[in-house]
Each structure stands twice: as structure tokens, then as C-alpha cells.
Amino acid sequence: MARIKVDLDRTLGEVDRRIFGGFIEHLGRCIYGGIYEEGSPLSDERGFRRDVLEALKPLRMPVLRWPGGNFVSNYHWQDGIGPKEKRPRRIELAWHSEESNRFGTDEYIQYCRTLGVEPYICVNMGSGTMDEAQAWVEYCNGTGNTYWANLRRANGHSEPYNVKYWGLGNEMYGAWQIGALSAEDYVKKAIEFAKVMKLTDPSIQLVSCGQNGWNDWDRIVLEGLARYVDFHSIHLYTGSPDYYRNVFEPHLADKALRICQALIEQVRYNQRIAHPVYVAYDEWNVWYRQRGRTSGLEERYDLSDALAVATYLNVFVRHCQIVRIANLAQMVNVIAPIFTSQEGLFLQTIYHPLRLYAEHVQEIALDVHVDCERFELPPTDDPTPRAQRLQGFGPFDLLDVSATRDADGQTLTLAVVNRDRAQAIQTTVQLTDAHVTHGIAYVVDGPSPNAVNSFEQPKQVDVHSQSLEVSGSSVVHTFPAHSVTVLRLELGA
């Protein structure tokens, strides 16, 4: 029998709700044909797909990153404002496509307001200039009698948008980026961008462009930029057709956060930087099937991917001290939890853990003790760096657990991923100084780890709830094989 031991006083810190953030990029059918479809009977008068908005609401995203991604490295935001029929159609080089510019800054801000999320804009540091970045901040946030602020007003938006979060470029290290740079050159350029953006609006918060969190790029960028920024952005995509690799790979986020936290601490200490610098995990997900540039990235997720996504979220909760923003990449159609057609949509498997966590994770993270069987991954004979990334990791607990409680200690949420492919795991949850008065289990499960949802079978993988027989300070619960369970327990003294 496995054991999870919970002491309500062993707190790790506060969970920042911004870890439930999203990301939309001008890529494939994420924006056009995803959240935005002009003329569709499913859209409102602004072109926003109503059914997509409805499906997004339960995900309770606090912040939404835009417009890329790789796309931003050749995006000129001024193409996307003013009368739509006058906006230029451009060749789009990052994804080999065409950009109509019918969805631009004003539409994005309206979308954010409609969904109730904070905007987070990443600026073009590839083909874009410092002047363009400065003008973008002024267009969005300017309050004076100046050209760009007045242009926003002329476009029908008298009040400033107060966009708080601004990213200094995306993946600027990558050869696939328009205008890629060395770390040293990026630092020099980013300092100047940061300067004009902050001079335009000192209240904004800036995000430096990191890599995976553990690279030399991250170290050099933090050494050069930590004093200018509030967040350092890192990205991680995992995934493998091998079940166990797929569900364990998100533990790479654990390594990324530990190393990145140490790098930040070192730089802040050595440079006497008083303000905090946090991690913005502003792209993360399972993504390994549809990798081609022109594939549209329409990954179809199975149940094992939902387990991986839940494991990522557990990692973020456990590292709540350092990760304060995270943006699932991406939101609709493109490596996304929601999949649309012109007639409707269905929810992919990964939607379910995202929704359950957004709803049930509480504000204080706890350090729990887990005692269960472990699994050692056999070495892989695939020599590619991607396949070798888990080298030296493990053995892995078959149960991955995060625990959170409310401030008063009345509600406890345990999020438990049983990664055992074949076996259910009977577990005792033991509480110190509290007893359970009421409990409910929400389980994401399906017929097999490779079960997927589709238009034809939208509920192959779904959530089932079950109330628990509880009394006293321990609960015995059986976690089904290959499942995600959110246990919500109401406590009494």
C-alpha cells in the first residue's frame, strides 16, 4: 500500500494563479479559425468564436501571451491596427504562411477583456526595431497627447490598455528565429529595448528571453539582464511515443526550475539586485508528433499526454516559490486543449487536468511525503539530444503528487497522477492534526493510455467524480492505472 502524508503546516509558499496562463500565436488555426472566425454563425459580431470562449472559461486563465512564438520575430504590429480592409497582407516567414493582419493589437486586447485575462505581449526583437517596441508600449499604455497614444484613441480606444507584461523577444537564441542572436548580442540589444520601453511606461514588467533554464544562454542573459527584468522566460516541450518516457519527461521542468532558480539567486546576490526575479514558464506542453513547420501543429493528445500535463502542473505547484507565470502552449488547435472545426469543437484529453487544476488547486502549496513504488526507465538507444535528456534521471515515483490548501486550512486538494501503466495503486492519505469531513475525487480516465478524443468520440477521455467514504485523519483511496485524480477534501480540526 502506498502512503501520502500531509502536514498542513509544512508549507512551500503561495501558488501564483498566473501559472494557469495561456498563449496564442499567429500560427496555423490558433487565431484564424480557432479563437477568431469572421462571418461564422458560431462567432459574435467581432468575429470571436462564442463556443471557444465558453470552452475557455473553465480554464480560468489569468494571463494570455501573444502574438508569438516564432511569429513575432517577423511581426510588425503597426500592420495590425486601423481599418481592417486597409491592413496589409504579408508573407510570414517563421511558419511559411501569410498573415492577413485582421487580428491585431486592438482585437487581442478586446479578446483579453472578454475572457478576463491580463495581456502579455512579446515584442519583435528579430526584424523589429527599438522604435517599434517603444511605439507599441506607447500605443497600448500611453496617456499623453502623443502620436501613438492618439492613434489608439483615433482607433476608438480612449482608455489606455495598461498592458503590464512585456516579453523581450522570443527564443532569440534559435536558428529558426528571424534575427537570431548570440547571448551576448541579445543582452546588449535587450538592454536598449528595455530602456525605451520602461521610459515610455515605468510601470510595465519585463520578461527576459531565456532558453530551457539550464543553458549557458540562461546564465549569460541573467547576468546581463536580471537588473532590468521582473521575469526570466523559459520553454519546455516534452513527449515520446514511449508511454513511460512521455509521462516522466515533464520532470525536466523540475531540473529547469531548480537550476534557473539557482542562477537567478547567484546573479541577484553577486549584483546586489534587490527586486525579485521570477520564472515565466511561458511555453510548455507535450509536443512531439506534429513538429514540421508547415504541419499546423495540430497535435492529437491521448490520455498519457493528460498525465504528462498534470505532472507539469504538479511541478509548478511544488516550485511555487520561483515560477510565477506559466503559459500553456498553445490554446486552440495548435498543440492545444481545444480543437475546432467550422461546425464546432471538442475537448482534447489535456483539457481535463487543466480544468480540474484551475478549479481546485488552493492557494498554499504543501510539502508532502510520498511513499510508493518507483520506476526506472531503461536506457534509450536513440542518440538524439532530445531522447537523451532524461539520462541520469530517476527512478521515478509512480505516483506524482501536489498538495495545496486554502489559507484557513479548511480545504485540501491533492492532485495525484498514477503513472503506472497497468496497476491501480491503493494509497493511504494520512493527515497530521486534521480530519476529513467530506471528500470527493475527480478522475480523468479513459479505456487505455492511448485513448484520444475526437469529434466522433468526444468523451473517450473524460472526468468522473465520486464521493468518498471518509472519517478521521486518514483516507484510503485507490488511484486507477494511468489516471489523474484530484481529491478535494474538506477538513475539520
Interface ranges with ligand AHR (CB under 6 A)? 25, 68-70, 170-171, 283, 329-330
Minimal distance, residue 365 CB to ligand AHR, in Å: 27
Could you give the angle at the alpha carbon of 394 between the alpha carbons of 390 and 397, nearest 5°? 125
Please, which residue, 283 or 400, has the CB nearer to ligand AHR? 283
Minimal distance, residue 170 CB to ligand AHR, in Å: 5
Minimal distance, residue 330 CB to ligand AHR, in Å: 6
Minimal distance, residue 286 CB to ligand AHR, in Å: 12
Report how far residue 154's alpha carbon sits from residue 150's, in angstroms, rounded to the nearest whole number.
6
CA atoms within a 13 Å half-sphere pointing along the CA-CB vector of 370? 21
Contacts of 456 (CB under 8 A, 6+ apart): none
Our answer to whether residue 171 is catalytic in this structure is yes
Report how far residue 406's alpha carbon sits from residue 218's, in angstroms, rounded to the nearest whole number.
34
CA atoms within a 13 Å half-sphere pointing along the CA-CB vector of 245? 18
Identify the H or E element spanning 436. Answer: strand 435-445
8 A C-beta contact, residue 444 and residue 311: no
C-alpha cell at 412: 485540501
Please, which residue, 72 or 264, has the CB nearer to ligand AHR? 72
Minimal distance, residue 282 CB to ligand AHR, in Å: 9
Please, which residue, 6 or 329, has the CB nearer to ligand AHR? 329
Identify the H or E element spanning 282. Answer: strand 278-286
Q: At which residue does the C-alpha cell 511581426 appear?
A: 75
Report how far residue 240's alpha carbon sits from residue 166's, in angstroms, rounded to the nearest whole number.
33
Minimal distance, residue 21 CB to ligand AHR, in Å: 14
Burial 23-52 (b: 16+ CB within 10 A, else e): bbbbbbbbbbbbbbbeebebbeeebbbeeb
Burial 306-319 (b: 16+ CB within 10 A, else e): bbbbbbbbbbbbbb
Minimal distance, residue 23 CB to ligand AHR, in Å: 7
Please, which residue, 170 or 362, has the CB nearer to ligand AHR? 170
C-alpha cell at 467: 464521493
437: number of Cβ within 10 Å? 12
Please, which residue, 239 or 439, has the CB nearer to ligand AHR? 239
| Closest to 115 (Cα-Cα) out of 107, 104, 124, 123 | 107
**CA dist list (Å): 229 to 168, 260, 379:** 9, 15, 40
CA distance from start to end of the chain: 26
Please, which residue, 171 or 201, has the CB nearer to ligand AHR? 171
From the list 138, 249, 283, 299, the catalytic residue is: 283
8 A C-beta contact, residue 208 and residue 231: yes
Please, which residue, 70 or 134, has the CB nearer to ligand AHR? 70
C-alpha cell at 454: 475526437
C-alpha cell at 249: 519527461
Question: What three-state secondary structure class fits 16?
Answer: coil
Residue 256 burial (CB < 10 Å; 0-12/13-18/19+)?
Answer: buried
Minimal distance, residue 273 CB to ligand AHR, in Å: 27
Minimal distance, residue 91 CB to ligand AHR, in Å: 17
* Long-range residue pairs from 151-155, CB within 8 A, at least 24 positions apart, any chain: 151/81, 152/106, 155/81, 155/82, 155/106
Our answer to whether residue 283 is catalytic in this structure is yes
From the list 25, 171, 249, 299, the catalytic residue is: 171
Please, which residue, 26 or 477, has the CB nearer to ligand AHR? 26
Residue with nearest beta carbon to ligand AHR? 69
Minimal distance, residue 409 CB to ligand AHR, in Å: 39
CA atoms within a 13 Å half-sphere pointing along the CA-CB vector of 93? 12
Give me the helices (H) in 213-251, please: 216-225, 243-248
Please, which residue, 329 or 403, has the CB nearer to ligand AHR? 329
Please, which residue, 211 or 340, has the CB nearer to ligand AHR? 211
Return the active site residues. Answer: 171, 283
